Amino acid sequence: MRIVLVLLLSLAFGAGLIVSAEGLPVRPGLFGAGLMVLAALATRRRWLLLADAAPGSPERALWIGFAGTAVVAAHLFAVMLRIGPNLVMHTPEIHALGIDNWTLVAGAVLAHWIARDPEPRQDERDAAIAVAGLRAAHYGLLAILALQILALGYVRGGWVGALSHPSIAHALILAVMASVLIDHGWRLHRYARDAAVEASE
């Protein structure tokens, strides 16, 4: 449930930056990146207080990457919905929204750097979980691409039929980001399952 909650909150926050853009005192990208950095600082402090009870190095990186990727992906998806299928690059509105999205990317990278384990450690179990996550991401990406191919190949009218080349390119970016979320989410699920098994023994 914690994994689902973090995902939903991150997606809602990323999409909400578009909805509440006019009411913010600064650009949505700066606001979102600032909050991500503050969240990373708070998370790092909590993990330091937990000491040996804190998640291991790979799991820490997964939590931060999972939340950051969800925020950026949701913002990009909301941007595409707001603009519509005929996305035209280098207009003033698109340029501003693109800067916001790249600012969020920078915030996610900075948050990852802040909350990372200063002494990274990894063992065989982490490697096995990483393989399982990459396998899930692989099949997830194939499924998403299959749906996109079918839609682009057979839907002639409506929103899909009006997609411009930049819109299709950004849809493919979202597919890759979705596979990253599948990878991170599955790995976190495996860590949570292993922790539950250890606690019950």
Please give the mean pLDDT across all residues of the chain.
88
Structure-block tokens of residue 122: 């990894």
In tens, the pLDDT along 18-42 reads 887 777 788 888 999 999 999 999 9
| pLDDT tier, 59 (very low <50, low <70, confident <90, very high otherwise) | confident
pLDDT band with cut points at 50, 70 and 90 for residue 7: very high
- What's the pLDDT tens digit per position in 68-105? 999 999 999 999 888 888 777 777 888 888 899 999 99
**Mean pLDDT on 32-60:** 84
Phi-psi region of 90 (alpha: psi -120 to 50; beta: other; left: phi over 0): left
- The alpha carbon dihedral of 15, 21, 27, 30 has a sign of negative
The CA distance from 136 to 139, in Å, is 5
The token pair at 159 is 């929103």
Give the pTM.
0.89
CA distance 49 to 52: 9
CB 85 within 8 A of CB 160: yes
Tokens read off for 115? 């909350």
Going by pLDDT thresholds of 50, 70 and 90, the confidence category of residue 106 is: very high
Q: What's the CA gap between 37 and 167, in Å, rounded?
A: 30
71 and 103 Cβ atoms separated by less than 8 Å: no
- Burial group, residue 27, by CB count within 10 angstroms (0-12, 13-18, 19+): middle
> Where are the domains positioned within the chain?
2-200
pLDDT of 24:
77
Residue 183 in contact with residue 68, Cβ under 8 Å?
A: no
Among 13-22, 80-89, 119-128, 146-155, the range with the most confident prediction by mean pLDDT is 146-155
Which has the closest alpha carbon to 66: 181, 200, 182, 187? 181
